Amino acid sequence: MSSVGNPYPEDDAQDVAARREWPLWEIFIRGQHGLSHRHVGSLHAPDAEMAIKNARDVYTRRNEGVSIWAVKADDVAASSPSEKGPLYEPSNSKVYRHPTFFDIPEEVGHM
């Protein structure tokens, strides 16, 4: 019985090594009926142009997107869920930022 697999195992090693050198890109897609882009996944690519082409092939197979953003993962600045308290607590002391701070004029009715 023959084993099933890649007859060129050295190609696998080369592909893996090449992907390790390519930067990771975060992919955002704007849907046909959406107004904003949403994160759909990540992929490795050598440059932005190839990242967008690969994202088109991987994430928009059924023409569900109208726009693609590719952002290097290293360029994304994000907060950690553990920083939630210190990050959002300062807004609690500024009551004017809450919608209940303002009175709605009678002419407006309801919102």
Torsion-angle region of 67 (φ positive above 0: left; ψ -120 to 50: alpha; else: beta): beta
User: Does the pTM exceed 0.85?
Assistant: no
The answer to the question of residue 3 being in a domain is no
Question: What whole-number distance in Å separates Cα of residue 16 and Cα of residue 94?
Answer: 51
Are 71 and 28 in contact by the 8 Å Cβ rule? The answer is: yes
| CATH number of the domain within which 69 lies | 3.10.20.520
Q: What is the pLDDT of residues 37-82, one digit of tens each?
A: 999 999 999 999 999 999 999 999 888 889 999 999 999 998 888 8
| Structural domain contains residue 68 | yes
What residue numbers bound the domain in which 22 lies?
9-77
